[in-house]
Amino acid sequence: MSGREDGMADQAQDVVTSTTVSPGISEVTLERSPANALGIPLLDGLHSAMDAAEKAGDVKVMVIRSAIPGFFAAGADIKHLSSIDAASFTAYGDKMREVNDRLAASPWISVAAVDGVALGGGLELAMACTLRVAGPNGRFGLPEVKLGLIPGAGGTQRLPRLVGRGRALDIMLTARQVSADEAYRIGLVDRLTDGDVTVAARELADQLIGPSLPAQLAVVRTVDAAFDSPLAEGSRVEVEQIQQLFEDGEAAEGIRAFVDKRKPEFR
Q: Return d(Cα 159, Cα 169) in angstroms, integer.
A: 9
CB burial of 117-152 (b: ≥16 within 10 Å; e: otherwise) equals bbbbbbbbbbbbbbbbbbbebbbbbbbbeeeeeebb
Catalytic residue (one of 37, 53, 76, 251):
76
Catalytic residue (one of 112, 135, 144, 183):
144
Report the chain's C-alpha Rg in angstroms.
19
Give yes or no: 121 in active site: yes
Give yes or no: 120 in active site: no
Give yes or no: 203 in active site: no
Q: Return d(Cα 213, Cα 204) in angstroms, integer.
A: 15
- Asked if the bond preceding 107 is cis, omega within 30° of 0, the reply is no
Catalytic residue (one of 121, 138, 152, 249):
121
Q: Return d(Cα 61, Cα 111) in angstroms, integer.
A: 7
Catalytic residue (one of 12, 27, 53, 124):
124
| Amino acid (one-letter) located at 90 | T
Q: Which residues pair with 120 in a beta bridge?
A: none
Q: Which residues are catalytic?
A: 76, 121, 124, 144
